[in-house]
Structure 1
Amino acid sequence: MKWYADRPGRFLRQVLADVVALGWIGGWIWLGVQVHDTVRRLRAPGDGLVNAGSGLRDTFRDAAASAGKVPFVGGQLADALGAGTNAGATLVNAGNGEIDTAESLAFWVPFALVIGPVLVALAIWLPLRIRYARSAGAVRRLGRLDGGEDLLALRALTRLPLRSLAQVSDDPAGDWRKGRRKVIGELAALEQNALGLRRST
């Protein structure tokens, strides 16, 4: 495959189109990263709940363990303090739930924002570039073959506008059938020039 034309005008247009397409895709990906980082900050309250809940749970657990050693009433005190341990665990669970939600949003919101524009750009730009690369590569290979000039001339006859063909000859198809090398060469060059390629030597 040949990705870029030989002729400067077509080459510059292709490079500009590639830069615009890649800039568009890169810009949306950058925006997606910024949105991801912004949405991910929503997990901060969840982190706070987890830290507070862990501290509360650990404090009440240690207090219950110490209270359990008190004679006579230690069991009752430990049970009462156990409720604080449960409250801390509830806070931890709530914080983890908020963190999971924030992480999920931080992935899906940017994904939903970016995927549409990127897919549209790829669907329009990439097939055109691949089609050109295949066509230009095929024309370049044909031009180097024995008899390739005849094939390129035939391709020009079947593909190019009539006004372009008329500039080569009054009867380009007839001249091609009669094997007139000058006309065949000009038709082949016309086909190569249509893709921005220089004439094969």
Structure 2
Amino acid sequence: MSGVALYAQNPWRRTRQLVGDLLVVLWVAAWVRAGLWVHDSVARLAAPGRTLEDAGSSLSDSLGSAGDTVARVPLVGDDARSPFDAAGGAADSIARAGVQVQEGAAQLALLLGILVAAVPVLLVVGAWLR
């Protein structure tokens, strides 16, 4: 019982098949590499989000410490603390916005990276498999 041959017996036809297969493999590798490059490039957009998150967190911590210090002042401590608490809450919002920027950049990087690689690969591989 003989199995199905992957390539033709005719040397010229077999050479054409092998060259075609090699070109498809190179095409796929090139587009996967392009998709990874796009992903990495877009992922760099998260850097300002990290900066924003770090700045917001640092500001919130500093304002919280200042509020704690002011709260120890006799007679006016609690009243003097409330602006620091409010400003600390705003700083926390800045930090959360930084996290959202990072998450958005990561999602966009993944989506664009996959699309850049998948569309040309699927078009060529689909035609190649026919």
* TM-score normalised by length of structure 1: 0.60
**For residues 112-139 of structure 1, what are the alpha-carbon distances to aligned partners after superposition, in whole Å with 9 as ceiling and x for unaligned?**
2222211111111123xxxxxxxxxxxx
Question: Are residue 79 (structure 1) and residue 67 (structure 2) matched?
Answer: no
Question: Are residue 29 (structure 1) and residue 28 (structure 2) matched?
Answer: no
Alignment match, 2:8 = 5
Alignment match, 1:118 = 121
Shift of 1:30: 0.5
Shift of 1:17: 0.4
Q: If you compute each CA radius of gyration, which structure gives the higher value, 1 or 2?
A: 1
Q: Identify the match of residue 93 of structure 1 among 96, 120, 124.
A: 96
Alignment match, 2:22 = 19
Using the alignment, how far apart are the partners of 1:88 and 1:2 within structure 2?
68
Using the alignment, how far apart are the partners of 1:7 and 1:65 within structure 2?
86
Greater RCO (Cα-Cα under 8 Å, separation 6 or more)? 2
Q: Identify the match of residue 69 of structure 2 among 29, 49, 66.
A: 66
Using the alignment, how far apart are the partners of 2:80 and 2:9 within structure 1?
88
Shift of 1:64: 1.2
Using the alignment, how far apart are the partners of 2:72 and 2:129 within structure 1?
74
Question: Are residue 57 (structure 1) and residue 60 (structure 2) matched?
Answer: yes
Contact kept, 8 Å, 2:35 with 2:115, in 1: the verdict is no
Give the structure with the higher percent helix: 2
Using the alignment, how far apart are the partners of 1:24 and 1:32 within structure 2?
12
Using the alignment, how far apart are the partners of 1:2 and 1:65 within structure 2?
79
Using the alignment, how far apart are the partners of 1:59 and 1:2 within structure 2?
73
Shift of 1:110: 2.0
Cα RMSD (Å) of the superposition? Answer: 1.3
Name structure 1 gaps, 5 residues minimum: 128-201
Q: Which letter maps to 1:68?
A: A
Question: Are residue 104 (structure 1) and residue 107 (structure 2) matched?
Answer: yes
**For residues 47-78 of structure 1, what are the alpha-carbon distances to aligned partners after superposition, in whole Å with 9 as ceiling and x for unaligned?**
10000001001111122122212211110121
SS across alignment from 1:10 = helix
Q: Which letter maps to 2:93?
A: T
Using the alignment, how far apart are the partners of 1:74 and 1:6 within structure 2?
92
Equivalenced residue count is 127
Name structure 2 gaps, 5 residues minimum: none
